[in-house]
Amino acid sequence: MSAEREEVLRIEGISKKLGGKPILDNCSLTVHRGELKVLIGPSGAGKSTLLQCIDCLIPPDCGEIWLEGQRLAMNDKRGLCAYRAQVGMIFQDFNLFDHLTAEENVAIALRKVRGMSRKEAKARALEELGRVGLARRALLYPAQLSGGQKQRVAIARTLAMDPRVILLDEPTSALDPELVGEVLAVIRDLARGGMTMIMATHQMDFARALASEILFMERGRIIEQGVPDVLLAEGSATRTRDFCAHLLEMGA
């Protein structure tokens, strides 16, 4: 069905060993424009490592990455920075810059990486903060924001770079339950607006409702993938469904 859709990101044969232990084993996936791929799987399955390998924050041992048809040369430092500037990354624990206000957190990469003037960058930062509903918090420092607000600032910071694709590493796992909704709402709006994303999450309702495709990971491999309705259908004997049933039992 997605044959005519434009391919944004393709990874092939990504493997990674840490301390002699294989963490990722020959992972491949392709994301097309406007798709939301959801990675699920037990803790330690390698979801987070896979996302960080895709952004080369952890350099993969082997494998190849193409962004919009261009192969990434991982040992070319300049090329790598340019690549990362086009691939957004949202972390579990936000990782805002503690010494900068919300507005400066969004603006700094625009100025230093995109080379915008201070004024342009500020205007763009305020626009993005408005988009995540935080225009009135622009002058606060991370220490003065709630977890949900911090994550929304992090999303605004990524959006400001006009990324081709956004990688989200369990964006709501570090949040208090009552704050999860506001972050998911922002991500939902992005998905509906056609943003291309790969997201690791345990929010199954969210995945079921919005994912174009679910990838199930276990022991460093992608072992199942398909549209949510098929993988999670009543009576389908998939690992994904077992896992979700298990999550439900645990009251998640």
Give residues in contact with another protein (CB under 8 A): 52, 55, 57, 77-78, 81-89, 91, 93, 95-99, 108-109, 112-113, 141-144, 154, 157-158, 161
Q: Which residues of 48-68 are buried (b: 16+ CB within 10 A; e: fewer)?
A: bbbbbbbbbebebeebebebe
What whole-number distance in Å separates Cα of residue 142 and Cα of residue 146? 8
Per-position DSSP letters for 186-208, written without gaps between them: HHHHHHHTT--EEEE-S-HHHHH
Query: Counting beta carbons within 10 angstroms of the beta carbon of residue 197, is it exposed (0 to 12), middle (13 to 18) or buried (19 or more)?
Result: buried
Residue 251 Cβ vs another protein, minimum distance, rounded to whole Å: 29
Q: Which is nearer to another protein, 152 or 207 (CB)?
A: 152
Residue 117 Cβ vs another protein, minimum distance, rounded to whole Å: 16
Q: Which is nearer to another protein, 31 or 106 (CB)?
A: 106
Q: Which is nearer to another protein, 94 or 206 (CB)?
A: 94
Q: Which is nearer to another protein, 94 or 216 (CB)?
A: 94
Residue 49 Cβ vs another protein, minimum distance, rounded to whole Å: 13
Token pair in block for residue 239: 């690992």
Q: Which is nearer to another protein, 63 or 142 (CB)?
A: 142
Say if residues 228 and 195 touch (Cβ distance below 8 Å). Answer: no
Instruction: Please compute, for residue 68, the number of CA atoms within 13 A of its CA located in the half-sphere on the CB side.
Output: 8
Residue 119 Cβ vs another protein, minimum distance, rounded to whole Å: 18
Residue 168: phi and psi, rounded to 5, are: -120, 120
Residue 111 Cβ vs another protein, minimum distance, rounded to whole Å: 9
Residue 141 Cβ vs another protein, minimum distance, rounded to whole Å: 4
Residue 125 Cβ vs another protein, minimum distance, rounded to whole Å: 13
Q: Which is nearer to another protein, 47 or 212 (CB)?
A: 47
Residue 213: phi and psi, rounded to 5, are: -155, 145
What does the CA dihedral 66, 68, 74, 80 come to, rounded to 10 degrees? -160
Say if residues 33 and 5 touch (Cβ distance below 8 Å). Answer: yes
Query: Counting beta carbons within 10 angstroms of the beta carbon of residue 215, is it exposed (0 to 12), middle (13 to 18) or buried (19 or more)?
Result: buried
Q: Which is nearer to another protein, 88 or 148 (CB)?
A: 88
